Amino acid sequence: MAHAQTPWHRPFWFFGFLVLIALLPLPFGSNRPWSSDLFAVLFGLLLIAMLGATRHAKAPAGFPPRNRINVAIASFSIVIFWAFIQVASWSPESWHHPLWQEAQPLLGQLKGSIAIDTGVFAESLLRLIGYSACFLLAFIGGRDSHNASRLVLTIAGAGVAYALYGLLAQSMGSDTILWYKKWAYQGFLTSTFVNKNTYAAYAGFGLICGLALLGERFKHLTVTDPHLAKRSKMAALIDSLTLKDYAALFSLLLILAALALTGSRAGIASSFIGVAGFFIAMLWHKRSRSPRWLWLSLSGLLLFLVFIVLGGETLLDRLDQNKVGEDMSARWSAYQLAGQAISDNPWLGFGLGSFEAAFRLYRDSSLPIWFQHAHNDYLEMIMDLGLPVAALLFLSLALLISCCVSGLKKRKKDAHYAAIAVGASLLIITHAFFDFSLHIPAFAATYAALLGLGVAQSWSVHERHS
């Protein structure tokens, strides 16, 4: 995109959006009702401000993949509509969960619903709307390349800041999160998050964005010593690095070190897959034009091995075969129980956000520990929404990701934004099999912003999408 002044160019609402994205992880990953509700409302207000500020603006130039975007919007709208039906007492009584009828002798006349726990609906819906607002703010603002670069810089910078806080706390032997004593994952680096797995996945976002920024710096790197270049191009490139280049490399090492010290198997593996996906996407885009991306890819793999070593006993202890077996045994029991719940109610679901209440009905002695979430976002969403509507939610995400994939082929410049979204998507697709990070607002909202940015930068102003 050209850098001409437009209604989308550095607007006040986009600055507010960047501030909120950076602050989201601060209050325990915003995974408290007060913080998640506050941020959702603020994102909504920024979205209203954006709509007011751009109401007279022309549509962005080029030919966006309208069909896929429209189908994704329609599918997501059906998900929201169905969530309302699930808590409605006027839905057909035959659809209502039998627990409502069984409770009437004890609690008197009750209005039933599909949802087994209507009390969690408002907060769950507000979070979904907040994520939608994040996507739209990044999508509209991200069409301008200045805004796009600032969003990536914000997420990378936030990744460094939270990694630095976590490393300082860990080095001082602190057992607190901010000024609260840790009540879980003592001895592991969690930064401002409660769950080390979620922080590890969030750090993966910062790592991907940092690598993208580093790649852009290297792309414009010029050799300052042509005589040295004749003997060794790599040595000449290293000799040409500036203080800012070394600062960028050091920032990545901070994130890598923090990621390793989380001891999160799924978080580290998912981050590796996300980084690998980003590099593969860039190599595919640059397939015959830029050997520097190949060198950066190999350097990324080397850095990954470095932070595995940095993890030391913390990570190696987590990779102990017995501990892996115990953990997977508990998860497998939970997955089987969730599968049983889905088979009992595959079409209607138990209600948006109702997993914890519904899971109590199926939990038995095979699962001795408490499970607030399924530790598998796919199973949890199917259990909450029912198979057909959950499939529409997955379809909407798949269509948006496909826009980013096609952008890698269509874009001649700035394709790294689409590659970031592809890498981040691979990270969450993998991590969602083993944990519930998409239920943590800071993680989910950051991903929504990266996906919105990737879609916004997925089409050229000159070429039509197929």
Note the pLDDT tens digit of each residue in 93-120: 999 999 998 877 777 677 889 999 999 9
Q: Is residue 4 part of a domain?
A: no
Among 8-12, 266-270, 358-362, name the one with the lowest average pLDDT.
8-12
Q: Is residue 207 part of a domain?
A: yes
Structural domain containing residue 322? 12-456
CA 399 to CA 73: how far, in whole Å? 10
CB 98 within 8 A of CB 344: no
Q: Is residue 119 part of a domain?
A: yes
- Over its C-alpha atoms, the chain yields an Rg (Å, rounded) of 23
Q: Which residue has the higher pLDDT, 63 or 463?
A: 63
Q: Residue range 347-352: average pLDDT?
A: 97
Query: Tell me, what's the pLDDT at 7?
Result: 45
CA 210 to CA 159: how far, in whole Å? 8
Q: Which residue has the higher pLDDT, 340 or 333?
A: 340
Query: Tell me, what's the pLDDT at 113?
Result: 95
CA 346 to CA 385: how far, in whole Å? 9
Give the pTM: 0.91
Query: Is the confidence at residue 8, as pLDDT, over 60?
Result: no
CB 383 within 8 A of CB 374: yes
- State both tokens at 336: 């089987």
Q: Is residue 6 part of a domain?
A: no
Residues 6+ apart with CB under 8 A from 299: none
Q: Is residue 366 part of a domain?
A: yes
Query: Tell me, what's the pLDDT at 341?
Result: 96
Each residue of 21-66: pLDDT tens digit?
999 999 999 999 999 999 999 999 999 999 998 887 776 666 788 9
Q: Is residue 5 part of a domain?
A: no
- State both tokens at 91: 């839905």
CA 45 to CA 64: how far, in whole Å? 26
Extended beta strands in 172-275, E state: 176-177, 180-181
Q: Is residue 336 part of a domain?
A: yes
pLDDT bin (cut points 50, 70, 90) of residue 308 is low
Mean pLDDT for all residues in the chain: 86
Each residue of 142-153: pLDDT tens digit?
999 999 999 999
Looking at the 3D structure of the chain, how many domains does it have? Answer: 1
Q: Residue range 206-216: average pLDDT?
A: 91
Percentage of the chain exceeding pLDDT 70: 81
Q: Is residue 443 part of a domain?
A: yes
Q: Residue range 260-271: average pLDDT?
A: 90
Residues 6+ apart with CB under 8 A from 17: 43, 46, 134, 137, 138, 141, 449
CA distances in angstroms from 349 to 142, 364, 372, 383, listed in the order given: 36, 21, 17, 5
Which one-letter DSSP state was computed for residue 438?
Answer: G
